[in-house]
Amino acid sequence: AQKITQTQPGMFVQEKEAVTLDCTYDTSDQSYGLFWYKQPSSGEMIFLIYQGSYDEQNATEGRYSLNFQKARKSANLVISASQLGDSAMYFCAMREGRGTASKLTFGTGTRLQVTL
């Protein structure tokens, strides 16, 4: 089974609108972390936001917020007030395990296109 599932291969959003990118995960661990990364066409992976499994509040970082629904095992990324520069691939990732044994597993990504 896929550990991280991103069901939207591509999304369009109009500039200044909000958009939600979906992510569901599968783990039997009690302690895990969820991440979102942005990858523009240059290829670099840009960290956006992190949510720990024990965090009670949804994480927020500027225009990014993570809608964490633990019972449903979902960690959707919400981008508010979209900008043209937000056009990129977005990857959801999960870190399981502890210490040096922990590693990130990535979803298949969602390509976001912001339009005028």
Partner 1 sequence: GAVVSQHPSRVICKSGTSVKIECRSLDFQATTMFWYRQFPKKSLMLMATSNEGSKATYEQGVEKDKFLINHASLTLSTLTVTSAHPEDSSFYICSARDMAGHNEQFFGPGTRLTVL
Is 28 in a helix, a strand, or coil? coil
Residues lying near partner 1 in the complex (CB under 8 A):
33, 35, 37, 42-47, 50, 52, 91, 95, 99-100, 103-109
Cβ nearer to partner 1, comparing 14 with 102: 102
| Selection from 45, 54, 51, 53 nearest residue 64 by Cα | 51
Q: How far is CA 93 from CA 13, 83, 115, in A?
A: 22, 23, 26
Distance in Å, CB of 72 to partner 1, minimum: 22
CB of 9 or CB of 85, closer to partner 1? 9
Q: How near is the Cβ of 100 to partner 1 at its closest, in Å?
A: 5
Cβ at position 16, least distance to partner 1 in Å: 27
Q: Alpha-carbon distance 110 to 89, whole Å?
A: 6
